[in-house]
Amino acid sequence: MATSVGGLYGEKAGGPMLDFSYVGIDAILEQMRRKAMKQGFELNIMVVGQSGLGKSTLMNTLFKSKVSRKSVLATAQEKIPKTVEIKSISHDIEEKGVRMKLTVIDTPGFGDQINNENCWQPIMKFINDQYEAYLQEEININRKKRIPDSRVHCCIYFIPPTGHCLRPLDVEFMRRLSKVVNIVPVIAKADTLTLEERDFFKKKIREELRANGIDVYPQKEFDEDAEDRMINEKIREMIPFAVVGSDQEYQVNGRRLLGRKTKWGTIEVENIAHCEFAYLRDLLIRTHMQNIKDITSSIHYEMYRVRRLNENNTMVAHANGIPEHHLTAHEM
């Protein structure tokens, strides 16, 4: 296997090298890659939306595996809980040698009560608790080599397919949470909308998001360079994605595909002419996964950290008898 050795060192082992200008610094990419493969990756996705919008099914469809709460917990009750609960399930999955610890955080009870005021609070608290846990690890004297990352990287928000506009609950939730986490809004169960209705609905949603100053992922202000901006603009023109989920397979044109079978036809989940699931999957997994994690750690987490540090300075000042300076408490 001389080729693998040669590949690493850029030359045939043993003979003198004739290329006078090759140092070999590009080999560091390979070194990084090996290390990353050994360590594996972590991804934490939260799904938020009312009961019955297909959150669990969509998670299963995204990862082609029974990763959702309903598939895993034996006592998967269909009863609506009295308060918003946070249930997180982790799986170790592997593909082509790349290992990933995927955590799906479900929020049953959100938006299902009669009075839904402040139903976002447990969720905000959970997200902030994860930041706090990471911060505590970071300021420890004896730090772990690799701090386990339980921070929520991405929150998929399910919008019911009313076809009209966002509901007050949607606006309230997204307005508050877009400041602490990456929100990816999707139109759930989009097979109840025709293409025209879908386009109209999406336009309306985008307008309302803009009008309320809600920045969903990919946020405009975090585009790093012209190349990013170009790619992200295309995505921003398409969100929210209209998705349909399914973990059932059907025979279509001689192939077995994931879909939903009705009397009037079979909806193919991965067919972009039918729904935008494939775009969501590509965004979340194949192209922007690392970017989502980066924005969580370098922007959302850093903002939390700065707030905490300033709080501490105030507390320290207070203990010293120095009058407090005015602090903006983060709204819950």
Minimum distance of other proteins from residue 196's CB (angstroms): 29
Q: Which residue lies nearer to other proteins by CB, 97 or 323?
A: 97
What residues contact residue 292 under an 8 Å CB cut-off, 6+ apart?
153, 154, 182, 217, 284
Q: Which residue lies nearer to other proteins by CB, 87 or 229?
A: 87
Q: Which residue lies nearer to other proteins by CB, 86 or 235?
A: 86
250, burial (CB in 10 Å: exposed 0-12, middle 13-18, buried 19+): middle
Q: Which residue lies nearer to other proteins by CB, 201 or 304?
A: 304
> What SS3 class is residue 25?
coil
DSSP-derived secondary structure for 99-164: EEEEEEEE-TTTT-SSS-TTTTHHHHHHHHHHHHHHHHHHH-SS--SS----S--EEEEEEP--SS
Beta-sheet pairing, 255-262 with 98-106: unpaired
Minimum distance of other proteins from residue 12's CB (angstroms): 11
Q: Which residue lies nearer to other proteins by CB, 78 or 92?
A: 92
Minimum distance of other proteins from residue 72's CB (angstroms): 7
Residues in the chain: 332
Measured CA to CA, the distance from residue 126 to residue 86 in angstroms comes to 8
**Residue 260 φ then ψ, to 5°:** -125, 125
Minimum distance of other proteins from residue 148's CB (angstroms): 11
Minimum distance of other proteins from residue 32's CB (angstroms): 6
Minimum distance of other proteins from residue 78's CB (angstroms): 18
Q: Which residue lies nearer to other proteins by CB, 91 or 229?
A: 91
